[in-house]
Amino acid sequence: MVKSVEGVYRNGRVELMEPIAEAEGSRVIVTWVHQATSVDLRERGIDESQAAGLRHRLAQFTEDWDRPEMNAYDDLPPR
């Protein structure tokens, strides 16, 4: 059985947001999720309405960008 539960990593331990009694003593796989950071639109030379338009135009690519194999690009150095 596979079950996903959200948790927080603190002091070398993962604290689950909900208990899973049947999982006691089971093996687990932990996937680290980067916290989202806000983007300073002014620093990038655009305003809120321009950002909304950009999000709308790029929405068609979301499915491709969210594929697990695309994570390899996150580790590339900035250009």
Cα Rg, the chain, nearest whole Å = 18
What pLDDT was estimated at residue 45?
94
What pLDDT was estimated at residue 1?
66
Average pLDDT over residues 48-60: 93
Enumerate the domain spans of the chain: 46-72
> pLDDT tier at 32 (50, 70, 90 boundaries)?
confident
DSSP state of 17: S
- Give per-residue burial for 29-56: e unless 16+ CB within 10 Å, then b: eeeeeeeeeeeeeeeeeeeeeeeeeeee
State the burial class of residue 67 (Cβ atoms within 10 Å of its Cβ: 0-12, 13-18, 19+): exposed
What pLDDT was estimated at residue 46?
94
